[in-house]
A = this chain, B = another copy of it.
Amino acid sequence: MNDKKVFQGIIAYPITPFDQQERVNIPLFKLLIERLVLSGANGIAPLGSTGVMPYLDDEEKESVTEAALKQVNGRIPVLVGVSNLTTERTIYHAQFAEKAGADAVMIIPMSYWKLTDDEIFRHYDKVAASISIPVMAYNNPATGGIDMSAALLKRLLRIPNVTMIKESTGDVQRMHYLRRELGEEVAFYNGSNPLALAAFAAGAKGWCTAAPNLIPELNNGLYKAIRENQLQQAQDIFYRQFELLQFIVGKGLPRTIKAGLKILGVESGYLRSPLQPLTDADYQQLEKMLLAIR
């Protein structure tokens, strides 16, 4: 990868918007992608949790992948979520993403039945072997249902194109531990919004976040202050956004980002059932927070 293709800094996660009949709205999706690119994000990650990837069928995932890559058009690197319960379907989507031009794929070991370490390794190994672009191994027990140990992550990193780790447990000690066990040269990414300051302070290479849909200046500002060793300024800018970061995680990213966009006057479409819009009370709280922050 040339420099333009390295994932670092702010990696922005778009939502997947639906129309009133709950069909994916591709034209609107492209507008939302364009907004994120223009906001100054250092990377884009369609089909993440924010993009409700598990609620889409195969065709929809393909359309979203193609639309994102076409819209970004090489301006910044694109990381495509391709996780699936079965190995066969994960390989299918990983190969599709590569052919469509993705710079890397992100894979969380989704579970219904808790997988053994050997099953997880075999799953990553088979998927990674089926493509030639890098893989980001993503640990998030809260959504994926599996908590990968440091030992397992270390083992995954022996697979040649598994080169990045995204940690979303929200525990900075875990990040310290992984960095110490796996070595400083491994590229770590933080996926827990309220941990952004602590994770950057601990040496994370990037922050995977849906927040740039709403407050890109604050997200970019935190990263800038950290790079410039301005700790006091980083604290100030972090505490300004902390309450919002907690809120969007606590109430669910698809609901809150969609509502936040509406508050900002940006069309954001509908959700797919069973997901429903924020309650009125939560909407008003978000509105108050967004107005105060900007």
Identify which of A3-11, A26-34, A225-233 touches chain B: A225-233
Complex contact B112–A201 (CB within 8 A)? no
- 4 further A-B contacts with Cβ under 8 Å, apart from A52-B112, A171-B171, A176-B239, are A54-B85, A87-B273, A201-B235, A203-B235
Within 8 A of B (CB), among A219-242: 226, 229-232, 234-235, 238-239, 242
Residues of B contacting A276 with CB < 8 Å? Answer: 116, 118-119, 122
| In the complex, A158 has a CB within 8 A of chain B | no
Q: In whole angstroms, how far apart are the Cα atoms of A289 and B238 in the complex?
A: 35
- Set of chain B residues within 8 Å of A126, measured between Cβ atoms: 273
Chain A residues within CB distance 8 Å of chain B: 22, 49, 52, 54-55, 85-88, 109, 112-116, 118-120, 122-123, 126, 143, 145, 170-173, 176-177, 179-180, 184, 194-195, 197-198, 201-203, 226, 229-232, 234-235, 238-239, 242-243, 246, 252-254, 272-276, 279
B231 touches A274 (CB 8 A): no
In the assembly, what is the distance between CA of A86 and CA of B54, in Å? 9
User: A254 — which chain B residues lie within 8 A by C-beta?
Assistant: 113
Residues of B near A195 (CB, < 8 A) are 172-173
Copies of this chain in its oligomeric complex? 4
Question: Residue on B with the closest CB to A54?
Answer: B112
Name A184's closest neighbour in chain B (CB-CB).
B239
Name the one of B120, B173, B226 contacting A274, with C-beta atoms under 8 angstroms: B120
B112 lies within 8 A of A274 (CB) = no
**Pairs across A and B, CB under 8 Å, 17 listed:** A55-B85, A55-B86, A86-B273, A87-B273, A114-B252, A115-B274, A119-B274, A171-B171, A172-B195, A172-B198, A176-B194, A176-B238, A201-B231, A201-B234, A203-B235, A203-B239, A231-B231
Residues of B within 8 A of A252 (CB): 113-114
Complex A-B, nearest 3 residue pairs according to Cβ-Cβ distance, in ascending order: A201-B201, A87-B273, A198-B198
The docked-state distance in angstroms from the alpha carbon of A231 to that of B200 is: 10
Q: Which of B86, B172, B279 contacts A172 (CB 8 A)?
A: B172
A238: B residues at CB distance < 8 A:
176
Cβ contacts under 8 Å, A172 to chain B:
172, 195, 198
